[in-house]
Each structure stands twice: as structure tokens, then as C-alpha cells.
């Protein structure tokens, strides 16, 4: 299959299937090419990435995610207001109400996320809205028995403080885990799954590799966050679910384990984290 110029070549296929548990097939990076969803899914499947969790992060993309899950057998959906989106809503109640309706629209909507806190892009004036939105999403995940998927950027302590106050659902994921080994332990003590992305391949990500090394094998997930966070050596190109094998091989090296063994474990972990097969 011929790939567009913006995309890296297909990697060697994985020896066993895995799931990309956080992907944005609807997002097109400024000035970059895009893949059609069917093309992205076919490319991913050709290298062993057989299922995808499509994540909505505002109302339009949440609606898109639900439709993608309805359309494609190997896709489930997550719906939420991204923490950077939450302060933009003058009527947060109405926006959360629509997220709740979307969460109940189909049984393949299994995720409330990505929600959380982002102190990198949102300043002090927007943080109260972020916190309120995060609390409301936690409540949704608990009431609706959905998996909570958390975005945390430069807000480690604040995220855990809110979770300690509100409680956690039975299943919750730290999306694109970005902390060190100490923060990993604090999340794991509260029952988290830790999801590792292409950032684990970056040269300056030693702390992140330390976190991966100490994470119990039954708590590890993998994701792309595509079209962002393209793994080394393809940084600068557009990310897609078919690049999961690059990240998985790096993760196996960090763990010192057989790649097939890690694939089988991550696949089982993903089903446990997201409520079974699909």
C-alpha cells in the first residue's frame, strides 16, 4: 500500500495483536495530509493493530467518535470535553449534558475521556472551569460505569487531588503517561492503568522509561495519540495507529521482555481496562 508523503513507512508487523487505546482519526494537523478512517484502520490492521479507541475531545469530535464506533466493528469510542476545551464553554452544564447523552447513545461508547487537567496550555483564569469539568466527567464515568481516560499535562498533583476527592471508577487510564517512576507508583496505588505513547521513544524521556520499567505487567497499555507524538525515528511525520509496533518494540526493550509476550499482555490489559472485547 502506497503511503502519502507525510506518513512514515509501514513497520514490521507485530507477532500478536494489540489495541491503540487512544487515537484521533478525525484530527488533521495544520499543513499535513490525512488518512481516511477506513485507510487508517486497514493500515493498522496490516501490522497487527487490530482495534482502536477513537477519542473525542470536544462536542464535534465526540459526535464523530460515536459515529465511528457505530460504523466500524473494530472501533470503540470515548467522549468528553478536553481540559483545554472546557473553559471555552459559557454553558458548561449544557455541554456536559450532551457528553452524557453521547455516552449513552451506543453500547460501544465505553470511555469518558479525554478529560483531566492541563496547566501547560490553560492559565489560572481557566483552571476553575477545568476542575469543574473534570469532576463532572469523573461523576459520569462512575454513574455510567464507563472507563475514565485522563489527560494530565503539568498537573500531576492536582489530578490526583481531584481523584482523591471525587473517587475513581472501577477502570481508569492515565492517557499518554508523562510522569516519572514516583508518580507512576502514586497512580498505580490508586488503581490506574498507565498508557504509554511514542514519547517513550524520545531521547529525553528517561524518567518515562523508568516509569514503564516499574509498572506491573497487568497495568500497561499502549497508544498513539495520533496524529500527534510520532515515535522516534519518525518525529516530524504524522502519527497513525499503524506505528504502534515502533512503540511496542521500544517498550519491550525497556522491559527486557519478549515482544510477543508483551503484545499478548497489553492486549489482555486493554480488554480489562475497556470492558471486554469488541
CA distance 54 to 41: 11
Ligand-binding annotation for 39, yes or no, is: no
The H-or-E segment that residue 52 falls in is strand 49-55
CA distance 178 to 194: 9
- Where do we find the cell 473525542? 56
What string of H, E and C letters represents the secondary structure of 144-171? HCCEEEEEEECCHHHHHHHHHHHCCCCC
Ligand-binding annotation for 161, yes or no, is: no
Ligand-binding annotation for 234, yes or no, is: no
Is 199 within 8 Å of 178 (Cβ atoms)? yes
CA-wise closest residue to 159 among 190, 181, 180 = 190
Ligand-binding annotation for 137, yes or no, is: no
Tell me whether the omega of the peptide bond preceding residue 166 falls within 30 degrees of 0, making it cis.
no
CA distance 138 to 169: 7
Tell me whether the omega of the peptide bond preceding residue 55 falls within 30 degrees of 0, making it cis.
no
Is 22 within 8 Å of 57 (Cβ atoms)? no
Ligand-binding annotation for 106, yes or no, is: no
Ligand-binding annotation for 32, yes or no, is: no
Q: Read out DSSP for 4-25?
A: PTTSPPPPPPPSS-EEEEEE-T
Annotated binding site for a divalent metal cation: 22, 24, 114, 151, 175, 225
Annotated binding site: 22, 24, 114, 151, 175, 225
Amino acid at each position: 500500500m502506497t503511503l502519502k508523503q507525510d506518513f512514515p513507512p509501514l513497520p514490521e508487523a507485530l507477532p500478536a495483536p494489540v489495541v491503540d487505546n487512544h487515537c484521533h482519526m478525525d484530527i488533521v494537523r495544520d499543513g499535513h495530509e490525512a488518512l481516511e478512517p477506513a485507510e487508517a484502520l486497514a493500515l493498522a490492521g496490516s501490522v497487527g493493530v487490530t482495534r482502536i479507541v477513537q477519542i473525542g475531545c470536544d462536542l464535534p469530535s465526540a459526535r464523530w467518535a460515536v459515529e465511528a464506533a457505530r460504523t466500524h466493528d473494530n472501533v470503540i469510542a470515548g467522549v468528553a470535553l478536553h481540559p483545554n476545551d472546557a473553559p471555552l464553554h459559557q454553558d458548561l452544564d449544557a455541554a456536559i449534558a450532551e457528553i452524557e447523552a453521547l455516552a449513552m447513545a451506543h453500547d460501544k461508547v465505553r470511555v469518558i475521556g479525554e478529560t483531566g487537567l492541563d496547566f501547560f496550555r490553560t492559565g489560572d483564569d481557566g483552571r476553575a472551569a477545568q476542575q469543574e469539568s473534570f469532576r463532572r466527567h469523573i461523576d459520569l464515568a462512575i454513574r455510567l460505569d464507563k472507563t475514565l481516560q485522563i489527560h494530565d499535562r503539568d498537573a500531576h498533583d492536582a489530578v490526583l487531588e481531584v481523584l482523591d476527592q471525587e473517587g475513581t471508577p472501577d477502570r481508569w487510564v492515565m492517557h499518554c503517561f508523562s510522569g516519572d517512576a514516583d508518580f507512576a507508583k502514586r497512580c498505580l496505588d490508586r488503581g490506574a492503568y498507565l498508557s504509554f505513547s511514542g514519547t517513550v521513544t524520545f531521547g529525553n524521556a528517561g524518567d518515562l522509561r523508568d516509569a514503564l520499567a516499574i509498572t506491573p505487567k497487568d497495568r500497561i497499555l499502549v497508544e498513539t495519540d495520533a496524529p500527534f507524538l510520532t515515535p522516534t525515528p519518525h518525529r516530524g511525520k504524522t502519527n497513525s495507529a499503524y506505528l504502534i509496533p515502533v512503540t511496542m518494540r521500544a517498550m519491550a526493550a525497556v522491559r527486557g521482555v519478549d515482544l510477543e509476550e508483551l503484545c499478548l499482555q497489553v492486549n489482555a490489559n486493554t480488554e480489562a481496562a475497556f470492558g471486554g472485547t469488541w
